[in-house]
Structure 1
Amino acid sequence: MPGLLIKSSFFISVLLLSGCFGGGNYAPVVERQERVSTVPASHKVSAGETLYSISWRYNLDFRRLAATNGIRSPYTIFPNQKIRLLDSTKDNSRSNNQRQAVTPATKPTSKTTASSNKTKTSKPANTDAIALNRSTHPFRWQWPAKGKTLRGYSTKSAVHKGIDLQGKLGEPVHAANSGTVVYAGSGLVGYGNLLIIKHNEHYLSAYGHNRRLLVKEGELVKVGQKIAEFGDTGTDKVKLHFEIRRDGKPVNPLGLLPKG
């Protein structure tokens, strides 16, 4: 009887261990919940990043981040450049000298389509060179997709800063407002293939988990334009993760999107 009890306990332990470390229910999908919530003192630029994507990663206003580092529009940054994240604008002169000391081996000239997953050189999203004409690109919010809301915005959640919308693989994702694409890539953990659009000096919007990106960085997009396709990149199901931020801070999209 004691021997049977020992064997039973061993068998139960094996089952528990296999349940914890194996099985389809424990697929290693990286979601936003796993991201570090604290902001480090600095960030080392990786290929493909823009000042906008870095500010998005750490919930910072891109204008303040640029000022902290003495970076002027069109906000050109380079791989391996050190970006200070702490708000210390009084040290701008020292920061500017450090920035000027960073010299790229070659001037970024290669163009990469937004749908490509190849490594690309960090480049400016020159929103000053191409001004938005509001007669052709009106400032007007609309829903980025037709699917129902799977998950809403929550002020209690430190990680879910937007809404999730239902859709089928390959269905269209539309620009929720007119603006300029300031990031197109997959470098932000938990967002999959991501687009970030700058609408003016205050508002940015983001579209995550896309299967395919249809626009490039620096491209002007019009409200309602098809910019991507529904996918499941960076997550465990097909959906669109949509966020709006004002001055670097998340806001509830439902407060801006049309009712119904």
Structure 2
Amino acid sequence: MNRTLSLGIAVLLWLALSGCAYYHVIQPGDTLYGLSKEYGVSVQEIQRNNPGVDPYNLEIGQQVKIPRLPNQKVADYAGRTDTKPAAKKPEKKAAEPKKNPPPEATPQPKVDKPKKEEIQPKEPPRSTATVNTEKLQFIWPVQGGQVLERFGETTDDVASHGVEIGAPEGTAIVAVADGKVILSSDEFKGYGNMVVVRHENNFFSIYACNKKNLVKKGDTVRQGQKIAEVGQTGRAAQPLVQFQVRIGSKAVDPLKYLPKR
């Protein structure tokens, strides 16, 4: 064993003295950068002496030629083996002196910020239009009928969105103004047979609980034209027309837009 080790060292010394290169056997974790630091040779010099070696894919057991530079001494290689040098133990850092905690800040008196004056939202102006409407004048949908329920009154906890006008069954229901029929249907629960007419200025008139509708969607109607007949369909408890006026989608009190009786 001692003889073999002595022979290996002798060969190493001979190689160093003769100016020959040293061959490092790749171990797990080796990199060319690490070898350059270990042997004091640049990475470029190692690559130049190992043109067939892939620096990014070193294989364990592979021999890498470490060139001897002119200024290197025998002792630089004589004590090296093919195993990695022991890792240096991290030096213990001297304990840093404890810093004194900063003095506690003197509490400052709490100053209440002046409260901002609360701005109450303004109520939107209520509609005062009677029929804005020098261009648009409504007439009553049923002549001689009696108002049974007014706008906003509740029945079974449901507020009315229009007025209910009672009249004998079969009485003519007429268009309150010129317009176009956008719906004629019985598909809305509680409303029975219903007609919706669109007028100028984004006004809509609705006629519900009809006995039968006499117009269809897309028809153009004239003020006073018969469009349906008073009936008792939907939730109606007696013959009547459930009449609504809307501006866009907002229901408004129809009595504000009908001529006074």
Query: TM-score scaled by structure 1?
Result: 0.45
Query: Which protein, 1 or 2, shows the higher relative CO under an 8 Å CA cutoff with sep ≥ 6?
Result: 1
Structure with greater proportional strand content:
2
